[in-house]
Amino acid sequence: MNSTQDTLYAQASEHISDFQFDNRVAGVFSDMIRRSVPGYTQIINTLGDFAKNLVTPDSRVYDLGCSLGAATLSIRRQIQGRNCRILAVDNSQSMIERCRENLNAYVSDTQVDLICGDIRDIEIENASMVVLNFTLQFLPPEDRDALITKIYRGLNPGGLLVLSEKLCFDDAPIQALLEERHLDFKRANGYSELEISQKRSALENVMKPDTLATHEQRLKAQGFSHFSLWFQCFNFASMVAIK
């Protein structure tokens, strides 16, 4: 997968515009997300392991906000020969184009439908697994319940939702403690103070993290009776919910 180094925020800019998954971001995204999200590679690998256990023959898998296809690739490797279809959806044309190249670089008997569209508009049916890997945080908060309801309805009994997100914390000292560890993670990965602060400004209006409690309450309120956090590193987490 393309790993051009992310230097998008390295030069001082007078006006920082809102973060967008445009062509510039898509070109460096593989490097950006690995250097920005602690545990990203482990989460991607574990998505494949979950799929190996839980994806049932003749069912569908949805990768919502698929970006360059990392989750789809990890899952596809583990579900060969099950006659499944993966629907990978993203509303960034630049991401979809690069995702197609990444998927075509490997052979598989599992069909992938790559859809350039809004995850709020697609239908979900006959799903044994749905992935929201760092995507829900980019939806307006008022649209999140409806998406989770749609996912719940489209999952087969026993079907799995994996939800990975940046978290925020109501407890101010905990927020400060974990946020600082995340900033150190970025520094250790070579991001300068300027890059960190300019990207923070760009994300401020477009990425709105929830607390873990809000996620749990939302998933339970929309019907999921089985919920657990399975991964957390600082203020980044991944959760599972089973129908």
Ligand X SMILES: O=C(O)C(=O)C[C@]1(C(=O)O)C=C[C@@H](O)C=C1
Ligand Y SMILES: C[S@@+](CC[C@H](N)C(=O)[O-])C[C@H]1O[C@@H](n2cnc3c(N)ncnc32)[C@H](O)[C@@H]1O
Q: Give the residue numbers of the binding site.
A: 40, 65-67, 90-91, 118-119, 133, 200
Q: Examine residue 33 and tell whether it contacts ligand X (CB under 6 A).
A: yes
How many CB atoms sit inside 10 A of residue 91's CB? 16
Q: Give the C-alpha separation, 68 to 102, whole Å.
A: 7
Q: Examine residue 130 and tell whether it contacts ligand Y (CB under 6 A).
A: no
How many CB atoms sit inside 10 A of residue 139's CB? 19
Question: How would you classify the pairing of strands 60-64 and 127-133?
Answer: parallel
Q: How far is the CB of 23 from ligand X (least distance, A)?
A: 15
Q: Binding mask 160-179 vs ligand X (x if CB under 6 A, - otherwise)?
A: ------x-------------
Q: Examine residue 74 and tell whether it contacts ligand Y (CB under 6 A).
A: no
Residues across the chain: 243
For ligand Y, give the closer residue by CB, 141 or 158.
Answer: 141
| Sign of the CA dihedral with 2 first, then 6, 7, and 8 last | positive
Could you tell which of ligand X, ligand Y, none binds residue 32, using a CB distance below 5 to 8 A set by kind? ligand X
CB 186 within 8 A of CB 6: no
Find the part of the chain contacting ligand Y (CB under 6 A) among 59-67, 76-84, 169-177, 212-220.
Answer: 59-67
Find the part of the chain contacting ligand X (CB under 6 A) among 28-36, 58-66, 116-124, 169-177.
Answer: 28-36
Q: Residue 90, class by beta-carbon neighbours within 10 Å (0-12 exposed, 13-18 middle, 19+ buried)?
A: buried
Q: Residue 171, class by beta-carbon neighbours within 10 Å (0-12 exposed, 13-18 middle, 19+ buried)?
A: exposed
Could you tell which of ligand X, ligand Y, none binds residue 65, using a CB distance below 5 to 8 A set by kind? ligand Y
Helices (H) and strands (E) in the chain, counts: 8, 7
For ligand Y, give the closer residue by CB, 122 or 229.
Answer: 122
Tracing tokens 């899952």 back to the chain, one arrives at 75
| Binding footprint of ligand X, residue count (CB under 6 A) | 9
Binding residue positions for S-adenosyl-L-methionine: 40, 65-67, 90-91, 118-119, 133, 200
Q: How far is the CB of 41 from ligand Y (least distance, A)?
A: 10
Choose which of 9, 50, 62, 134 interacts with ligand X (CB under 6 A).
134
210-222 as b/e: b if 16+ CB within 10 A: bebebbbebbeeb
Contact footprint for ligand X (CB under 6 A): 32-33, 36-37, 134, 166, 199, 203, 207
Contact footprint for ligand Y (CB under 6 A): 21, 33, 65-67, 70-71, 89-92, 95, 118-120, 133-135, 138-139
